[in-house]
């Protein structure tokens, strides 16, 4: 019973920080921007085509703004926000010196690391939900809602479309696990929160760039962003699980590898800050 105490404090502390709230506000702003842009565009001339996936569908159905917003934020905004929170998780506490007081409390190193990991995962979920909900609200305000035409051509009811949107948000949140574990590991390496955040965000961008170079096909299946956009397969009928399962497997692998590395490092390092 007492074990949850630290976790509750950790989550409350993280979500009370201005920085966390600003990150969430930025994430909430992206769907609004996309929605307003599409609305202005469709006012001038119908159709258009091109742009990110689902963009064309928004004008016909506001629910498509949820899919679009997640597709737009997943490559950059979401992993950057997660990188900031995860990178700062331990390094930031080391920088301000509060880490030593948590450890002599004694929080326990493994227990503290677990609380940090769960908090970062909670942030992944919160960030994704903020994008999805903001998109849903914007979509409902600016566009009509109704039956959803899937990528495979069949139609489903709005209610089922909503369920699929929820499933997509869940998959997107889980897609961020790799970044979360990577950021937490980087966070155990340094006593500077800023350095850890910058390194994590840098790694996210590097992985994205490498994933875009055709000559590097051999290593691409092992890059954490490689299967990210496979969540679109949830909009097929029947649902196409191959890419999604590969994505989740890869995220689990990253979480296991970098989670263990973070544990090995954090439980043995000297706390000199």
Partner 1 sequence: MIETRGLTKTYRGGRPAVDGLDLAVPRGSVFGFLGPNGSGKTTTIRMLMGLIEPTAGTARVLGQPMPGAVRQVLPRVGALIEGPALYGFLSGRDNLRRFDAADPAADPRTRSERVGRALDRVGLAAAAGKKARAYSLGMKQRLGLAAALLQPRELLVLDEPTNGLDPQGMREIRALVRELAADGTTVFLSSHLLDEIEQVCTHAAVMARGRLVTQGPVAGLTAAVLGPGGHGRLAVTTPDPADAVRVLKEHGLTGLRADGDRVTGELPEAPPDGPAPPDPAELNAALVRAGVRVRAFGTQRPSLEDAFVRLTGEGFDVAG
Binding span for partner 1 by CB under 8 A among 72-80, 95-103, 128-136, 205-213: 95-103
Contacts of 174 (CB under 8 A, 6+ apart): 124, 248, 251
Task: Give me the sign of the Cα torsion angle 92, 97, 99, 102.
Answer: negative
How many Cβ atoms sit within 10 Å of the Cβ of residue 142? 18
Residues making up the chain, counted from first to last: 273
Rule CB under 8 A: which of 140-199 touch partner 1? none
* Tokens 């929160």 -> residue: 193
Binding span for partner 1 by CB under 8 A among 6-14, 23-31, 167-175, 213-221: 6-14
Binding span for partner 1 by CB under 8 A among 27-35, 46-54, 96-104, 181-189: 96-104
Binding span for partner 1 by CB under 8 A among 35-43, 102-110, 136-144, 216-224: 102-110
Q: Give the nearest distance from C-beta 24 to partner 1 in angstroms.
A: 16
Q: Give the nearest distance from C-beta 193 to partner 1 in angstroms.
A: 13
Binding span for partner 1 by CB under 8 A among 131-139, 142-150, 193-201, 263-271: 263-271
In the bound state with partner 1, the residue whose beta carbon lies nearer, of 7 and 156, is: 7
User: b vs e for 255-265, b when ≥16 Cβ sit within 10 Å of the residue's Cβ?
Assistant: beebbebbbee
Q: Give the nearest distance from C-beta 109 to partner 1 in angstroms.
A: 9
Give the CA angle between residues 187, 193, 197 to the nearest 5°.
Answer: 70
Backbone angles phi, psi at 215, to 5 degrees: -65, -15
* Tokens 């929605």 -> residue: 35
In the bound state with partner 1, the residue whose beta carbon lies nearer, of 111 and 236, is: 111
- Choosing from 22, 33, 105, 219, the residue that interacts with partner 1 (CB under 8 A) is 105
Tokens describing residue 206: 């590097």
In the bound state with partner 1, the residue whose beta carbon lies nearer, of 8 and 147, is: 8
> Pattern 16-35, binding to partner 1, x per CB under 8 A?
xxx-----------------
How many Cβ atoms sit within 10 Å of the Cβ of residue 226? 19
Q: Which burial class, exposed, middle or buried, applies to 220 when counting CB atoms under 10 A from its CB (0-12, 13-18, 19+)?
A: middle
Give the CA angle between residues 234, 82, 255 to the nearest 5°.
Answer: 70
> Pattern 106-145, binding to partner 1, x per CB under 8 A?
xxx--xx---------------------------------
* Tokens 């950021």 -> residue: 183
Kindly list the residues in this chain that would bind partner 1 in the complex (CB under 8 A). 2-3, 5-6, 8-9, 13, 16-18, 96-98, 100-108, 111-112, 268, 270-272
């Amino acid at each position: 019973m007492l074990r949850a105490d630290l976790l509750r404090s950790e989550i409350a502390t993280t979500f009370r920080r201005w920085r966390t709230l600003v990150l969430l506000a930025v994430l909430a702003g992206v769907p609004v921007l996309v929605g307003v842009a599409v609305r202005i565009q469709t006012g001038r001339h119908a159709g258009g085509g091109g742009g990110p996936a689902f963009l064309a569908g928004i004008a016909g159905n506001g629910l498509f703004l949820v899919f679009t917003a997640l597709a737009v934020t997943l490559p950059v905004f979401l992993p950057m926000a997660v990188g900031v929170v995860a990178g700062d998780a331990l390094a930031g506490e080391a920088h301000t010196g509060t880490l030593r007081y948590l450890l002599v409390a004694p929080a326990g190193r493994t227990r503290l690391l677990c609380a940090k990991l769960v908090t970062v995962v909670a942030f992944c979920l919160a960030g994704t939900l903020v994008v999805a909900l903001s998109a849903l609200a914007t979509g409902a305000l600016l566009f009509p809602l109704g039956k959803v035409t899937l990528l495979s051509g069949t139609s489903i009811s709005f209610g089922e479309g909503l369920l699929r949107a929820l499933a997509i948000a869940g998959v997107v949140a889980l897609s961020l696990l790799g970044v979360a574990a990577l950021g937490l590991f980087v966070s155990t390496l340094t006593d500077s929160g800023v350095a850890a955040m910058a390194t994590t965000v840098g790694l996210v961008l590097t992985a994205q760039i490498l994933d875009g170079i055709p000559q590097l096909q051999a290593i691409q299946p092992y890059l954490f962003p490689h299967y990210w956009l496979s969540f679109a397969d949830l909009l097929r009928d029947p649902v196409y699980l191959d890419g999604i399962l590969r994505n989740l497997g890869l995220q689990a692998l990253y979480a296991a590898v970098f989670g263990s590395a973070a544990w090995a490092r954090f439980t043995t390092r000297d706390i000199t800050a």
